[in-house]
Amino acid sequence: MPGPEGEALEAVRARRDELRARHLKPRAERPATTARGVHHVAFICRDVEETVRFYQEVLGFPLVELVENRDYRGSSHFFFDLGAGNLLGFFDFPGHDHPPFTETVGGLQHLAISVDAEQFAAARDRLAAAGVDVLGPDRGVDDSLYLRDPNGVNVELYREERGVFEGKRITGD
């Protein structure tokens, strides 16, 4: 996706620098977070079985719970284990239309999931065997695979430790 150019690009970059200077404290000066981490992130799926097969069989994330949604009769709420106590959840809403995924303000751009080098290679092989289109590694970045799940959600398999970005630890833990 092309972005701004010329003076507009320089203005965007200057604004980012201003925000960084005003709000980003050195790691040693930051207060501890008030959160314990992400309990789960929840998305909507079109088809429970298709979603379970993709995440469990292709990506290797075990299904750990499948219950009725407490807020919508007949709807399922289910979870996959992403490791380190992190869960990925989904809901289905039978009887509702599910329009194609769109990237928009306030919407999800992508979900990045940390995997080690061995699992990265294994996932790449399973995705190829399943015929899933993958972008990456490319653009000089050999640690990311980008794909779309059966619901259109953009997923990045990221061969980087949690709390590390571009080789630099950016969190306190």
The structure's pTM equals: 0.82
Domain 37-93+107-169 has CATH 3.10.180.10: yes
pLDDT tens-digit map of 154-168: 999 999 888 888 888
pLDDT tens-digit map of 124-140: 999 999 999 998 765 55
DSSP annotation of 33 reads P
Rounded CA separation 147/154 (Å): 6
- Assigned token pair, 18: 């201003």
